[in-house]
């Protein structure tokens, strides 16, 4: 990963939590967040939620040699994405996610990265891992309970499948049934 992200939290007089993200460029190539920070200054201060949304949007665009991960934030704790690769896990960890979950069965398409490869990288970075493969858009109760357990296991959960749709359907069902 071309950028290393450092987060520092603080509280202003009004109790507003601030997050400062600073990208420290290493090597010649810069990630998309690094390019944004070069244009707009080395430090950005804003609310935690706004900061997270800005980082998600920057990484989703995949410009300037950065990853082409396409993500969307469902709430302050859960974000979903298209299929990722093991190399993307570094960015997921740098964004502050504590857990990663795959809702896509291995071997669904030729050339699809195996969960074991992604899980190994995630565990090496200290993330909790959850494999809850869903082959259809109608998950059973066990899948919903496993998704809810993944949500409870970390303050921030990153879930992915082929397009993020299955992840979002599961999230909506878990919320609707009051499981998390």
Q: Which of 10, 38, 68 is the last residue of a domain?
A: 68
Domain containing 179: what range? 70-180
CA 93/CA 96 separation, integer angstroms: 5
Contact 153, 128 (CB under 8 A): yes
User: pLDDT tens-digit profile of 4-20?
Assistant: 333 333 333 222 222 22
Which of 60, 64, 53 has the alpha carbon at shortest distance from 96? 53
Are 82 and 123 part of one and the same domain? Answer: yes
User: pLDDT tens-digit profile of 66-92?
Assistant: 456 789 999 999 999 999 999 999 999
User: pLDDT tens-digit profile of 127-170?
Assistant: 999 999 998 767 899 999 999 999 999 999 999 999 999 999 99
| Residue 21 pLDDT > 60 | no
Q: How many domains does the chain have?
A: 2
pTM, to two decimals = 0.65
Are 112 and 160 part of one and the same domain? Answer: yes
Are 37 and 120 part of one and the same domain? Answer: no
Are 164 and 127 part of one and the same domain? Answer: yes
The confidence band for 57, taking pLDDT boundaries of 50, 70 and 90, is: low
């Amino acid at each position: 990963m071309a950028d290393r992200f450092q987060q520092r939290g603080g509280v202003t007089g009004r109790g507003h939590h601030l997050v400062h993200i600073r990208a420290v460029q290493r090597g010649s190539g810069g990630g998309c967040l690094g390019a944004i920070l070069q244009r707009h200054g080395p430090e950005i201060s804003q609310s935690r939620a706004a900061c997270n949304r800005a980082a998600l949007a920057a990484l989703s665009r995949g410009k300037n040699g950065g990853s082409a991960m396409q993500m969307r934030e469902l709430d302050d704790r859960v974000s979903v994405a298209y299929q990722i690769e093991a190399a993307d896990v570094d960015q997921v960890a740098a964004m502050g996610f504590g857990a990663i979950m795959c809702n896509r069965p291995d071997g669904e398409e030729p050339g699809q990265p195996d969960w074991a490869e992604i899980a190994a990288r995630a565990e090496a970075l200290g993330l909790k891992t959850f494999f809850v493969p869903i082959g259809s858009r109608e998950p059973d109760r066990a899948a919903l309970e496993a998704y809810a357990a993944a949500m409870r296991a970390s303050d921030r959960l990153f879930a992915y499948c082929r397009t993020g749709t299955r992840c979002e359907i599961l999230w909506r069902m878990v919320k609707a049934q009051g499981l998390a």
